[in-house]
Structure 1
Amino acid sequence: MILYPTLEIMNGKCVSLKRGRLEEPVLWHIDPLATARRFAEAGAEWLHVTDINRLLGNAGDNSDLIEEIISAAGIPVQLGGGFRSREAVERWIDKGAGRIVIGTMAVYYPDLVKELAKLHPDQIILSLDIYQGRLMTDGWRSPSAFTPEAFLAEFDRAPLAGVIVTDIDAYIADEPDGSMGVIAGLAKGTRHPVIASGIVRSIDDVSRLHYIPGISGAVIGRALMTKDVDLVDALDVARATPEPTAEFQ
């Protein structure tokens, strides 16, 4: 299982979203470039970066900083945050982003996202944000008409690099246990590798995800910033060979 240590960037600073509140980010007084390098030195295979300004659609521009992170990290970068056009996706692929995370655009323009997946195989990640059983868009602010299952099935034949699933209910409640079931159910119903987001609070969460079939990875951000999780220890757990488990009858 691959762990994706995460940098959430807002106005050039590293932040975390406490219980998903976009309007109340927690500011971390750390250097984004140095932190990216530290994650790579710890043994991470990928870095996940979210541009919060782009996600909010406001005037902040983190482009220069994110380009520096892509150049300096030493590992491939998976970039998300408010992608709304083909031009934006292809521009950041040209700038060196290893993968692009797409959510809202896939709801409104599914054929375009499928086309991008074909043009850039293994570089497009589909994002599913789920709240009270409904698929959310626009940075968790708007419910869509799709169920998560139907939306995921729509992209079953697209050559996606994977699917990121966030259970917003558990994220807001700060309780990861419910998310395990939601994410496990979606992973069981798709051929795409599934990346769990927003539910790693401890090493135990990494260990539990490691045993769920279809889970290929986990995005981990705030727990690293608060030092509730040590990245080196988490990577050791994620890479360990799972022991055999008995099947439920």
Structure 2
Amino acid sequence: MQIFPAIDLKNGQCVRLFQGDFSKKIIVNEDPIAQAKSFAKSGATYLHIVDLDGALEGRPVNLEIIQQMKKAAKVPVQVGGGIRSMAQIDYYLQSGIDRVIIGSAALTDPDFLQAAVKKYGSKIAAGIDAKNGFVATSGWLNISQVSFLDLAKQMEAMNVETIIYTDISRDGTLTGPNLEQMAALQKHVTINLIASGGVSSRADLEALSELGLYGAIAGKALYNGNISMSDIVEVEQSAY
């Protein structure tokens, strides 16, 4: 299982949020470039970067920083946050980013997602952020009436190859991932699934790995020491 250390960017700094609440941010590193380099040096093989400013504004606010992070880390990088146009995707991918995550627009503009997948294939991932099983959009500010399972099935029909699923209610809470929902997704679709939200320990990563998932994202637990990069490397290697 591929494990992605997460770096969330706000105002040019690495931050962590609690349940996606922008008013409850904690700065974990003022230097995101150094953070990316540190993760890679400690064994990270792929980074997950979210432009939180971009998620709110609908444009790649932290693009230059992300480019520098990728250059410093020298490992693959997937990026999400406010990606709502083909021009943004073109720019990210042409600048060396390995995979782009389409989040809110996956629900609100399925034609855009379809066009992106048709043009770039596996370089496009779709993000599903949900609360109580219903999809959230616009930086988690709006909750729809669409089931996460229904949206996942629609994405599969569009030939999306990778879905990143975040349970908002668990994100940043260290209460453990939603194994039930991840297991339901694994049964519902046959594409690559990445779990996000709530990971609090090495045991959580091992439990996700046992579900047969393609990947998992580790954020807050990594910054506060509940999980070490050694844990990540060992769980990754044991899953292959």
Matched pairs, number:
240
Unaligned runs of at least 5 residues, structure 1: 243-249
Which residue of structure 2 lines up, in the alignment, with residue 111 of structure 1? 111
Identical residues among aligned pairs (%): 29
Which residue of structure 2 lines up, in the alignment, with residue 163 of structure 1? 163
Identify which range, 129-138 or 36-45, moves more after superposition. Answer: 36-45
For the Cα contact (< 8 Å) 1:167–1:183, is it kept in 2?
no
For the Cα contact (< 8 Å) 2:18–2:173, is it kept in 1?
no
Which residue of structure 2 lines up, in the alignment, with residue 143 of structure 1? 143
Distance 1:121 1:58 in 2: 22
- Post-superposition shift, 1:238? 2.6
For the Cα contact (< 8 Å) 2:20–2:139, is it kept in 1?
no
User: Which residue type is aligned with residue 102 of structure 2?
Assistant: I
Pick closer, same or farther for the CA change 1:148–1:140 going to 2, 3 Å: same
Distance 2:231 2:172 in 1: 26
For the Cα contact (< 8 Å) 2:166–2:197, is it kept in 1?
yes
Paired residue secondary structure (2:135): strand
Larger Rg: 1
- Post-superposition shift, 1:69? 0.9
- CA deviations 1:175-228 (Å, max 9, x no partner) are 225x11011111211111100001211111111111013x11111111111111
- CA deviations 1:97-122 (Å, max 9, x no partner) are 10011111111211221121121111
- CA deviations 1:6-50 (Å, max 9, x no partner) are 111111111000232122210123521122112112222211111
- The answer as to 2:220 corresponding to 1:222 is yes
- CA deviations 1:36-88 (Å, max 9, x no partner) are 11211222221111111111228993222111112221001100111111111
CA RMSD for the aligned pairs? 1.9
Query: TM-score, normalising length from structure 2?
Result: 0.93
Pick closer, same or farther for the CA change 1:126–1:29 going to 2, 3 Å: closer
Which residue of structure 2 lines up, in the alignment, with residue 62 of structure 1? 62
The correspondence of residues 6-21 of structure 1 with structure 2, limited to 5 A, is 6-21=6-21
For the Cα contact (< 8 Å) 2:15–2:27, is it kept in 1?
yes
Distance 2:209 2:102 in 1: 25
- The answer as to 2:91 corresponding to 1:91 is yes
Distance 1:183 1:72 in 2: 33
